[in-house]
Amino acid sequence: ALGGELFTRMQRVERLKPKDASVYVCMVASALGFLSERHIAHRDLKLENLLVDDVGYLKLVDFGFAKVIETRSWTFCGTPDYLAPEILAHKGHNYAVDWWALGVLTYEMMHGEPPFMEDDQMHTFKRITANDYHMRIKDDKAADLINKMLQLNPAKRLGMLSGGVKDITNHPLCAHVNMDALLKKELKPPWVPKLSSPLDASN
């Protein structure tokens, strides 16, 4: 993954245009769809755990918290800014937590910071529980997609409905992304790392 972390890339550019962010959303959604079909929850989706390969495609890494969940799990785990409300409420959770985290990630790519961020972790948790976030981008399609993933009820969250991952990849924000081309890595990604050799670790 010679492009380094998506986190590092985001620190350089601060925020992405919705059109570019949507390509990354589709890449991550395709990975999460693969996992959720197998009842696997990753439980630690964040910018740091998305690496960019030599041609600009994302790889989901760090399966340290991943778990096969047939019904529900009660483990309190994850990264504070990305925690789903059902984890905080100790109500038991399944892979719906990953679709929530994708909502957080989508917001963060377009706003330059996570939606519930506070200096005090307990304040962050209060805001997550109250679903208290503010959209500052003027893109209705992006706002709609984020709102549908940051849905307090896990069963109503985009990604968990009958359409599964296609509800995200077919969403108006992502409709321009040709998923067949994406899965074959024929689509031009938002950023391709400049590399001097196959061993260039500068990113």
Answer left, alpha or beta for residue 46, where phi above 0 means left and psi between -120 and 50 means alpha. beta
Per the annotation, the verdict on 44 as an active-site residue is: yes
Catalytic residue among 20, 44, 119, 180, which? 44
Buried b (16+ CB within 10 A) or exposed e, 89-106: eeeebbbbbbbbbbbbbb
Q: How far apart are CA 198 and CA 73, in angstroms?
A: 41
**171, burial (CB in 10 Å: exposed 0-12, middle 13-18, buried 19+):** buried
Active site residues: 44
